[in-house]
Amino acid sequence: MVLVMTLIGEILNFRRGRWLLFGATAWLAGVANSAVMLRGDEPPRAPAAPSSLPATPQIRIIRGRSGFFERLPPRPPRDQAARAEHIARLRLEYAKPPQNWPAPLIDAGVEWQELGLLPSQPVSALDVPLEPKRQLGRLLFFDPRLSHSGQMACASCHDPDLGWADGRTVSFGTGRLSLPRNAPSIMNSAFQEAFFWDGRASSLEDQAIQVLMNPDEMNSSPEIVIQRLSQLPDYGTAFQEAFGTSEITLDRVSRALAAFERTLIGGRSRFDAFLSGKSAALSDEALSGLDLFRREARCLNCHHGPLLSDKRFHDVGLSYFGRSYEDLGRYRSTGDVADSGKFRTPSLRNITATRPYMHNGLFELENVINLYNAGMPTLVPKPDQENDPRFPKKSPLLKPLGLNPQDVADLRAFLESLEEPRTRFRPPKLPGREASPVDGAAADNFSDPR
């Protein structure tokens, strides 16, 4: 994209500090960045309809202390008759199998999968026999005695009533310490390949151990876990059934937790019903939002496949480099400057049940859609940052969209269709709970082996 910009000086007072608004005229050269790349295992599709965005849009550059946004004017809305015709056409096109849906707008070089139903639950060889390990993992997941304080369980940050997240901006750790990141949902984690926002764990087993041992989180130790569980005969029986002997080890604890978490799978949303052939499951607004998601809104570049995630890491401009909320994401775990500012693409399944959003939990859904509509912030280095190799570089997949209010409402309606029906998940009765309740001062009944 080649931008030839005519600056119109106008200074605005905008929230924090003084922001400059520049009117700009942009001429688009070439369409290489909007090329469609089809998967090799898919039949050719009909060419995508031309985008309804104007060929020479007026772009506003909104500058702030750390960077700028590019905003396209909202594209003209359809009148009632045109919208009815558009929805009728979409009903016909999306009644076909997904492989025959209209060709999406995908940038060149993006390896993508069509949206679809979740596959069958994957069962690791480590999970066999599955049911005894799942039952043991369920007990351990809700048991606060795994933590040093005796007050914090896995379910403290991954509550089934809150979409297996915790509904907080950032989670609380040991001693009510505010942790640096928002707790992602663990639903459908069986299909993930890396865990935590920065991908520092390569398996659910590894993820469980890291949380248990993290001094800011559950602040536990192998000695604490083994000693406390060994005091409870019912746990010995559960380990016997799951592993063949009653020996309790940290490795077995992590394997049982992972076996339980791999069974937390969705797939009962209205969108899943639509994919299964129930066309009425999506409202007109949600259907229009699905088409936007795949095309003009450009979401499919990163949120594709049955999980609605490419499982990769991207910089979306929210690293807050050099500011109070700075978080360099994957760089903190890999040390590779190319990873600076990158975070894992979250799954969008059940997204409306797991607010707030982004790695720092600072945004609501309306904020997120508006940010993406503006192409996300582009950071500009300050003089003392110009030669810093860690300075984050925003993903080139992010571009201003020019969606109008009806588009935004439709896109939100589609995201809402991804929500799972509310089900009550009762925490299990924990071994020895009646004899040794771990709440308040009762936590002191357990000695600290450290």
Measured CA to CA, the distance from residue 141 to residue 222 in angstroms comes to 16
The identity of residue 57, as a single letter, is P
**Quick one: CA torsion of 211, 216, 221, 226, rounded to 10 degrees?**
-60
Distance CA 156, CA 287 (A): 36
Give residue 389's Cα distance to chain centre: 27
Q: Is 193 a catalytic residue?
A: no
Catalytic pick among 70, 205, 217, 419: 217
Look at strands 378-379 and 58-63 and give their pairing.
unpaired
* Residue in the structure block whose two tokens are 């936007």: 292
Tell me the pairing of strands 58-63 and 18-25: antiparallel
Strands 11-13 and 343-344: unpaired
Sign of the alpha-carbon torsion through 194, 196, 200, 202: negative
Residue 152: closest CA among 195, 188, 183, 189: 183
**Nearest residue to 143 (alpha-carbon basis) of 26, 225, 67, 250:** 225
Cα dihedral 231→235→237→242 (10° resolution): -140
**Which positions are catalytic?**
217
